[in-house]
Structure 1
């Protein structure tokens, strides 16, 4: 199992960054390799991703949702992984976003990509692209928060 941890500082309030990330259907706009995300209920999503040229589909479940602060998940089927997104307010207008992903690469191509650090680079680039997406004035504003929901911790 590999654990990847990357952070980026964004010129946006933590609540806005959290809400934008929580719009799963928009993730393909800035997350390389995320081809499609569909909601399948309040806490289940279906993902189509490409890793090292291999397309995979899986379902993931949200384990913990603390609006404006934290989101954790794990895969239900398909590639084994889990993770957390933390949104730490540094001040009213600045947020440190930290992604922690734990994964078990499937197949030769994904294992090679993991060993070569390609997956680490992808997570780092995705966070940089998220920063640009958040700080771009032409991006649509985040939706209002849903009702607070707190599941069990990861």
Structure 2
């Protein structure tokens, strides 16, 4: 990404902005520094679930897990400086599909394509702005 690491990291911590950047994310409500409530609609299936930030270090990574709902997921996004004005953003997710449609979609690589598309939209958003809409710098 063509922004400094602190800009990319700060924007990633603005979870309530995710619906602007991620297909299928309808709403995120941040309830405190660690917890978020998600509403999604992917392939016509609506879901609500809660996530907890389990590890967060500014300008390095954010790791999460689901804590409620029928979505079982863990993940981590890492930030790596390339130079003073460029950042590499890498995401790892472990998602356990439920139901036939999700299992078929997972086998067809739909989740992988969706995550890659979401990261491209994040890149475009932050590069267009050149600055983050906010930022949380706490360590959890």
Q: TM-score, normalised by structure 2?
A: 0.93
- Aligned equivalents of 1:136, 1:93: Cα separation in 2: 14
| 1:53 Cα deviation after fit | 1.7
Instruction: Please tell me whether residue 56 in structure 1 is matched to residue 43 in structure 2.
Output: no
Give unmatched runs, 5+ long, in structure 1: 1-9
Runs of 4+ in 1 over 4 A off after TM superposition: none
Instruction: Please tell me whether residue 33 in structure 1 is matched to residue 24 in structure 2.
Output: yes
Q: Is the 8 A contact 1:18 1:68 kept in 2?
A: yes
| 1:91 Cα deviation after fit | 0.6
Give the one of 124, 129, 133 matched to 2:121.
129
Match of 1:5 in 2: none
Match of 1:149 in 2: 139
- Aligned equivalents of 2:120, 2:19: Cα separation in 1: 14
| 1:89 Cα deviation after fit | 0.6
- Aligned equivalents of 2:48, 2:74: Cα separation in 1: 15
Match of 2:62 in 1: 71
- Aligned equivalents of 1:84, 1:15: Cα separation in 2: 17
Match of 2:73 in 1: 81
**Between structures 1 and 2, the one with greater helix share:** 2
Q: Is the 8 A contact 1:59 1:75 kept in 2?
A: yes
Instruction: Please tell me whether residue 116 in structure 1 is matched to residue 85 in structure 2.
Output: no
- Aligned equivalents of 2:7, 2:17: Cα separation in 1: 14
Give the one of 77, 82, 96 matched to 1:90.
82
Instruction: Provide, for residues 31-84 of structure 1, a one-character-per-residue CA deviation record: whole Å limited to 9, x for no partner.
Output: 111111001122010001122220111000000110111000000012100000
- Aligned equivalents of 1:145, 1:41: Cα separation in 2: 11
Give unmatched runs, 5+ long, in structure 2: none
RMSD across aligned positions (CA): 1.4
| 1:144 Cα deviation after fit | 4.6
